[in-house]
Amino acid sequence: MTTTLIANQPSAATASPGSELTGRVRISLGRIWNVVRMHLVDKRTYVGIPWIIVAGAFLVSVVISNIIGYATGNGLGGAEATASQRYSWAVLAPQWYLIVVAVQSIAFSFPFALGYSVTRREFYLGTSLLFVLISAFNAVAFTLLTQIEKLTHGWFMGTYMFNALWFGIEGWWVDLLAFFVVQLLVLFVGASVATIYMRWRMPGMLVFWVSFAALLVGSVALITYTNSWPAVGVWFAAQGTAGVFLWLLVPTALAGVGGYLALRKATPKN
């Protein structure tokens, strides 16, 4: 694709500055899309395995519902089994694997892409576009499954997996936003951690995790010692589900920008 775009560029003698700029933009966009295609050569990593995890989590949810229903004597759709599933984290099962996917997309694919004369900017933009596409696809699928689960009252057998935690409580568009942001967040966090390792190796990882732990513990200590937990709870309640996930776009953007800055001078090593 890139070769074709280069061949179709106007010659230096006849091209205007505007057409030359357009040609460069087209070439850059072509290479960015080629990075997406490069990642998706192994679709199992990005699509297959996550949905195998979803299927496994669903089967486990059904088994646990049966156990609770049998123990309480109310069956699979009993009140106890249904209530307990509202607090199940099975719906987030694939997110932990997506962190690994994000790390692999940088650590394994970055050296390979550089070997094909892809710039660091093109590689990171292409990888970021892949993250957005994966998050959007999964968010739509999870939102549809949540709505189907609600309409069928737990797949006609009273067992719930997607209609859990904060999902399924408000409108479908809130679920769509929440699923999208959660997946985008874990993907960019995983990618940024990988870029830190590629840029600074183990010293950088030690500094990052120590700093992160210190920030986390310090924030908890500050809120606790100032008796601010009620105020924190009030703030979260005022934001609503959609508002909280919109705020999560801030650390997502920080992780994305930080990952790019670290990758600019990263040197892949075996």
- Residues 37-72: tens digit of each pLDDT: 989 888 888 989 999 999 999 998 888 877 877 776
Among 197, 186, 192, CA closest to 259: 192
Give SS3 for 187. Answer: helix
Q: How far is CA 50 from CA 46, 53, 145, in A?
A: 7, 5, 15
Q: Is the pLDDT of residue 207 over 90?
A: yes
Give SS3 for 114. Answer: helix
In the 8-state DSSP scheme, what is residue 268? -
| Summary mean pLDDT of the chain | 83
Residue bearing the bigger pLDDT, 39 or 5:
39
pLDDT of residue 123: 93
Which pTM was predicted?
0.82
In the 8-state DSSP scheme, what is residue 73? T
Q: Is the pLDDT of residue 195 over 90?
A: yes
Q: What is the pLDDT of residues 132-175, one digit of tens each?
A: 999 999 999 999 999 999 898 888 877 888 988 888 888 899 99
Q: What is the pLDDT of residues 98-130, one digit of tens each?
A: 999 999 889 888 888 887 778 889 999 999 999
pLDDT of residue 22: 54
Neighbours of 238 (CB within 10 A): 9
pLDDT of residue 6: 29
Cα–Cα dist 121/253, whole Å: 16
Residue 76 is which amino acid? L
Burial class (CB in 10 A: 0-12, 13-18, 19+), 261: middle
Q: Is the pLDDT of residue 189 over 90?
A: yes
Cα separation of the two ends of the chain = 29
pLDDT of residue 148: 93
pLDDT of residue 270: 52
Dihedral angle sign, alpha carbons of residues 16, 20, 21, 25: positive
Cα–Cα dist 42/45, whole Å: 6
Assess contact for 32 and 125: CB atoms under 8 A.
yes
Cα–Cα dist 25/122, whole Å: 11
pLDDT of residue 216: 93
Residue 194 is which amino acid? A
pLDDT of residue 91: 86
pLDDT bucket at 268, cuts 50 / 70 / 90: confident
Residue bearing the bigger pLDDT, 12 or 181:
181
Assess contact for 127 and 47: CB atoms under 8 A.
no
pLDDT of residue 65: 78
